[in-house]
């Protein structure tokens, strides 16, 4: 009896779904679709706000379309040559084209550039984004905890720094990489 009720129930649901007025073309149900947008007039003059934004940058660092690795490589070059602002722009561009698996690399690279610029709050923010994502291997996560601990120490947030050092140690980061932060 139970086996017979299940097919009957499924059959009645499928018949009911197929006779729903919205799908049969009957207008007994109020149409909730959004109205079509009106075409913009072509005679309207463009205002200052509608003009495209143009960033004037030197030719060697001009950001163009490309792939993730290209942006990362160019960011490393700018970082090594001391052009930190250009490196941040390139790492941000790499982040915009990155997959979820690649995003942590762009974020940790950008965090180290920010730390060279003494912008530890931005470094800490990028590391926190990586940690909150939880989509990276444990070894990289442990390294990120340690990096965030160093930035927190620079910002005099020893509670966060010690907490992150302990998490990095729990994840198996070698003692040689967890030195430098005093948590007594």
Write out pLDDT tens, residues 111-122. Answer: 999 999 999 999
DSSP state of 65: S
d(C-alpha 172, C-alpha 143), whole Å: 10
Write out pLDDT tens, residues 133-167. Answer: 877 888 899 999 999 999 999 999 999 999 999 99
Which residue from 66, 106, 105, 110 is spatially nearest to 85, judged by alpha carbons? 110
Q: Which CATH class is domain 67-177?
A: mainly alpha
Contact 128, 148 (CB under 8 A): yes
Sole residue written with tokens 């049969």: 24
- Rounded to the nearest angstrom, the gap between the alpha carbon of residue 135 and the centroid of all alpha carbons in its chain is 11
Q: Percentage of the chain surpassing pLDDT 90?
A: 50
Q: How confident is the model at residue 61 (pLDDT cuts 50, 70, 90)?
A: very low
Average pLDDT over residues 13-38: 51
pLDDT of residue 165: 92
Contact 128, 102 (CB under 8 A): no
Write out pLDDT tens, residues 42-55. Answer: 444 444 434 433 33
Parse the chain into domains and list their residue ranges: 67-177
Sole residue written with tokens 């620079």: 154
pTM: 0.62
* pLDDT at position 63 over 60: no
Structure-token pair, residue 37: 């947008």
């Amino acid at each position: 009896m139970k086996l017979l009720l299940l097919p009957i129930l499924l059959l009645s649901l499928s018949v009911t779904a197929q006779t729903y007025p919205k799908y049969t073309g009957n207008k007994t149900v109020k149409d909730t679709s959004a109205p079509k947008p009106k075409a913009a007039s072509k005679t309207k003059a463009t205002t200052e706000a509608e003009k495209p934004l143009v960033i004037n940058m030197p030719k060697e660092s001009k950001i163009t379309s490309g792939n993730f690795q290209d942006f990362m490589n160019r960011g490393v070059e700018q970082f090594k040559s001391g052009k930190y602002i250009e490196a941040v722009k390139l790492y941000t561009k790499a982040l915009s084209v990155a997959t979820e698996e690649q995003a942590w690399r762009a974020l940790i690279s950008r965090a180290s550039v920010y730390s060279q610029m003494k912008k530890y709050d931005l470094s800490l923010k990028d590391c926190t984004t990586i940690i909150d994502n939880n989509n990276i291997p444990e070894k990289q996560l442990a390294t990120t905890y340690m990096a965030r601990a160093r930035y927190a120490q620079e910002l005099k947030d020893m509670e966060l720094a010690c907490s992150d050092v302990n998490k990095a140690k729990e994840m198996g980061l070698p003692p040689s990489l967890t030195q430098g932060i005093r948590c007594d």
